[in-house]
Amino acid sequence: NAGVMQNPRHLVRRRGQEARLRCSPMKGHSHVYWYRQLPEEGLKFMVYLQKENIIDESGMPKERFSAEFPKEGPSILRIQQVVRGDSAAYFCASSPWGSADTQYFGPGTRLTVL
């Protein structure tokens, strides 16, 4: 089992561009969570998805951010019109069911906005 995969590992964007971050959950896991870690901060919950459904997006900024987890393929976190404040590490976790104690984390994507 390869574990949770995220790509790219590093992403550089200029202000105003779009960023697409991908997360492939562990085999057998249908629950995906996205967390953001700003510099000098802990990881903060953004969104929880099951296949084809957004369950909880209470931690997502209201504008420019969206997430999906299609029936086929990885989960995508999309950030439109990036700004410098979006520079952070974005972590994805997956679990076989919706719970806090079974989440396995990916290596993260480090987004840098120039």
Residues interacting with another protein, by CB under 8 A? 3-4, 31, 33, 35, 40-45, 48, 56, 59, 91, 95, 98-101, 103-108
Which CB atom, from 63 or from 101, has the smaller least distance to another protein? 101
As measured in angstroms, the least distance from the Cβ of 114 to another protein is: 24
Which CB atom, from 13 or from 103, has the smaller least distance to another protein? 103
As measured in angstroms, the least distance from the Cβ of 101 to another protein is: 6
Which CB atom, from 33 or from 79, has the smaller least distance to another protein? 33
Which CB atom, from 13 or from 29, has the smaller least distance to another protein? 29
Q: Give CA separation, 7 vs 55, 56, 62, 107, in Å.
A: 23, 23, 24, 9
Query: Would you state the structure tokens that stand for residue 11, as one six-digit string?
Result: 């992403």
Q: Give CA separation, 75 vs 14, 42, 57, 66, 83, in Å.
A: 23, 22, 14, 11, 22
Give the pairing of strands 75-79 and 65-68.
antiparallel
Would you call 7 helix, strand, or coil by DSSP? strand
CA distance 37 to 59: 12
As measured in angstroms, the least distance from the Cβ of 14 to another protein is: 27
As measured in angstroms, the least distance from the Cβ of 96 to another protein is: 12
